Structure 1
Amino acid sequence: MTIKITGSGSYIPDNTINNADFSEHHFLNEDGTPFKYPNDVIIHKFKGITGIEKRRYAEDQYTSSDLAFFAAEKAIANANIDPETIDYIIFAHNFGDVKKGALQSDMLPSLATRVKKKLQIKNPKCVAYDLLFGCPGWIEGVLQANAFIKSGMAKRCLVIGSETLSRVVDDHDRDSMIYSDGAGATIIEASDNETGLLAYETATYAIDEAGYLFFGKSYNTELDPDIRYIKMHGRKIYEFALINVPAAMKSCLDQSGIAITDVKKILIHQANEKMDEAIVDRFYKLYNQPTPENIMPMCIHELGNSSVATVPTLFDLLVHGKIENHEINKGDVVIFASVGAGMNINAFVYRY
């Protein structure tokens, strides 16, 4: 028995923020000193490295659990199931519900419970819980759904990744341009045929790497130092990812027994275009193979980095024919992979 994705949905906010919208921001170095380059140069370099031209921010009245609910509704409709038959709701996020302009995150009750309430699921045996695993959270949720279903604890799970990173960024940190908001959701069920999840790999590196992504004070020294924002050591993350993500991808592909030449698509966390390209190139070098053209669909250029939402959103767009020059067909082998705060990495091989 394997598990497969029987339905998917995503919510992409309408509020588009272009790179030019950052032209008036007062970007600072970590010590509070101004950059020596003007904003147009900063933005141009940012675009060249990350590939991001636009990103989406949630509408002011919505929080992460709202976006998750919208995506979950679509996934349930796409799977054509009765929501009362869902055994687990696994909600991956990092920062809870952060209202526009609020100083605190709200995670009581859990966001998964809030989605269950919004879906009006009455069945008390539908267990709802949150998963904090950094950007790889949705993939980890799929792996947990796999364990529940294979153990007999569940027959059907709803796995969600949702985030509103625009509510936790430091406007004076140029890294704030990376982050965005969105949600993706999937229905996971048992499969008795050869489709579905074939192998996986997951790991946490915490001795030297735990602090690569963290909550820190604003770069503006005039602001309250006790108000915290998402921060990262970008170069360390890049170097970590290039070593560990390709190795995780290779490990689960080898476990699956699938040949590297049979992989049709790689769906990787939309963190940074250059980093993602380097990860995939490194992965193929482990097999002494050239990187195939058109192997890696991307949505980061238009949607930015929405953390746990990037991979399920990318999958939903791909299966519904909304990624230009990319398609997925029955029987295609796909590798899903991610890296993020923790530092956590994971991957799984999937036959569509």
Structure 2
Amino acid sequence: MSERIYSRIAGTGSALPARVVSNDELAQRVETSDEWIATRTGIRQRHVAGEGETTVSLGRDAALRAMEAAGVEPGEIDLIVFGTTTPNLIFPSSACLMQAELGIAGCPAFDVNAACCGFVYAISVADKFIRSGDAKTALVVGSETLTRMVDWSDRSTCVLFGDGAGAVVLKADSATGILSTHLHADGAKKELLWNPVGVSEGFKPGEDNAGVRVLMTGNEVFKHAVRALDSLVDETLEANGLDRHDIDWLIPHQANLRIIEATAKRLDMPMERVIVTVDKHGNTSSGSVPLALDEAVRSGKVQRGQLVLLEAFGGGFTWGSVLLRY
């Protein structure tokens, strides 16, 4: 019987734009307030990409920190999976652009677009490569510059989003690592959270296509997210024969503090065991889970051997989880 192979997180990294925009600063642009935003979302500030800061440059910086933490050289990377919904270009992929900047050549490199669930989808794909033996050292990135597609006159959405990136290096390991991943989608709900303009649909040649923006029916998204994540928690625990009290840390997508609190309640988990960065970063889409993971690791909260649940919900709808022994 062949030995089971796991994907172990060997290193984490993150990167944030230099500019920080507070709720008070946003209140000077739209009719809102720090109290209104913080009470409804838990967000106090967000990072906004400036000149020269892109999805690829943030992803590259996060990747370099993850590689340094893992003690891995560029030549050892044999797979790159890049989660993003805001790529630098339509093509080549952000993964290919970052690959070149890192001085890596020859290995597979591709993007995964699952909106806010992009990193969870990406790490699941990389895990499959490692389990099958097709990769031994994978670089997985979640990076976004969502503020470049935000309608700054729409107070219901512009207060929510920020820019940032996180990354992990996965290495094949015979002892421990990712235990299971669980992915779902429901495209029938697309218009509750979406961007209406693309290349093959919504784009009008010769006309102003400034319609690239985030549209969201917030209360409906909230209800669907809570229900989906509730079911996902049960599915993940059942698949691994675990009780909810076995989980050491919950690292959720950082979209809204109320959704995070609802998921923690489902796990009967005190908020002291939940990693929360939404107050500092806002919703960074596919960047949020790896950003929070990197902060949890570097702060010393998450320790080797602990059981960690990653989960996310995003446009599509997409949702998914990763259960791992760190």
Under a length normalisation based on structure 2, what TM-score does the superposition of the two structures give?
0.91
Question: Is residue 2:193 matched to residue 1:213?
Answer: yes
Describe the SS at the equivalent of 1:294: helix
Structure 2 match to 1:39 = 32
Preserved contact between residue 111 and residue 129 of structure 1 (Cα < 8 Å): yes
1:13-68, Cα deviation, whole Å (9 max, x unpaired): 22110001112224xxxxxxxxxxx533xx42221011111100123212110111
Structure 1 match to 2:17 = 13
Listed as ranges, the matches of 1:91-130 within 5 Å are 91-97=82-88, 106-122=89-105, 124=106, 126-130=107-111
Describe the SS at the equivalent of 1:258: coil
Preserved contact between residue 245 and residue 269 of structure 2 (Cα < 8 Å): no
Matches of 2:315 and 2:305, distance apart in 1: 33
Matches of 2:211 and 2:179, distance apart in 1: 44
Matches of 2:271 and 2:13, distance apart in 1: 27
Larger Rg: 1
1:150-186, Cα deviation, whole Å (9 max, x unpaired): 1121111100000001111001111111100001011
Matches of 2:258 and 2:264, distance apart in 1: 10
Question: Is residue 2:270 matched to residue 1:280?
Answer: no
Listed as ranges, the matches of 1:321-336 within 5 Å are 321=299, 327-336=301-310
Question: Is residue 2:245 matched to residue 1:261?
Answer: yes
Question: Is residue 2:232 matched to residue 1:239?
Answer: no
Matches of 2:209 and 2:53, distance apart in 1: 27
Question: Is residue 2:307 matched to residue 1:314?
Answer: no
Structure 1 match to 2:51 = 60
Matches of 1:45 and 1:39, distance apart in 2: 6
Aligned to 2:276, which of 276, 290, 298?
298
- One-letter code of the match for 1:215? N
Question: 1:330, CA displacement in angstroms?
Answer: 2.2
Structure 2 match to 1:351 = 325
Question: Is residue 2:58 matched to residue 1:75?
Answer: no
Question: 1:140, CA displacement in angstroms?
Answer: 0.9
Question: 1:226, CA displacement in angstroms?
Answer: 5.0
- One-letter code of the match for 1:171? W
Question: 1:279, CA displacement in angstroms?
Answer: 2.4
Question: 1:77, CA displacement in angstroms?
Answer: 1.0
Aligned to 1:151, which of 123, 129, 132?
132
- One-letter code of the match for 1:296? V
Question: 1:318, CA displacement in angstroms?
Answer: 0.7
| Residues 293 and 228 of structure 1: CA distance in aligned 2, closer, same or farther (over 3 Å) | closer
- One-letter code of the match for 2:295? L
Preserved contact between residue 199 and residue 253 of structure 1 (Cα < 8 Å): no
Structure 1 match to 2:205 = none
Structure 2 match to 1:340 = 314
- One-letter code of the match for 1:203? H
Describe the SS at the equivalent of 2:56: helix
Greater share of helix? 2
What is the root-mean-square deviation of aligned Cα atoms in Å? 1.7
| Residues 279 and 83 of structure 1: CA distance in aligned 2, closer, same or farther (over 3 Å) | same
Matches of 2:102 and 2:90, distance apart in 1: 18
Preserved contact between residue 3 and residue 196 of structure 1 (Cα < 8 Å): yes
Structure 1 residue runs of 5 or longer lacking an equivalent are 27-37, 98-105, 218-223, 285-289
Matches of 1:153 and 1:216, distance apart in 2: 37
Matches of 1:64 and 1:225, distance apart in 2: 21
Question: 1:293, CA displacement in angstroms?
Answer: 4.4
Matches of 1:293 and 1:166, distance apart in 2: 28
Instruction: Flag as ranges the 4+ runs of structure 1 deviating above 4 A.
Output: none
Matches of 1:4 and 1:330, distance apart in 2: 11
Aligned to 2:183, which of 162, 185, 202?
202
Preserved contact between residue 246 and residue 280 of structure 1 (Cα < 8 Å): no
Matches of 1:39 and 1:129, distance apart in 2: 39
Q: How many correspondences in the alignment?
A: 312
Structure 2 match to 1:49 = 40
- One-letter code of the match for 1:253? L
Q: Sequence identity of aligned pairs in percent?
A: 28
Under a length normalisation based on structure 1, what TM-score does the superposition of the two structures give?
0.85
- One-letter code of the match for 2:99? K
Matches of 2:281 and 2:22, distance apart in 1: 10
Structure 1 match to 2:200 = none
Aligned to 1:25, which of 4, 29, 41?
29
Structure 2 residue runs of 5 or longer lacking an equivalent are 198-207
- One-letter code of the match for 2:26? F
Question: 1:337, CA displacement in angstroms?
Answer: 0.2
Matches of 2:271 and 2:192, distance apart in 1: 32
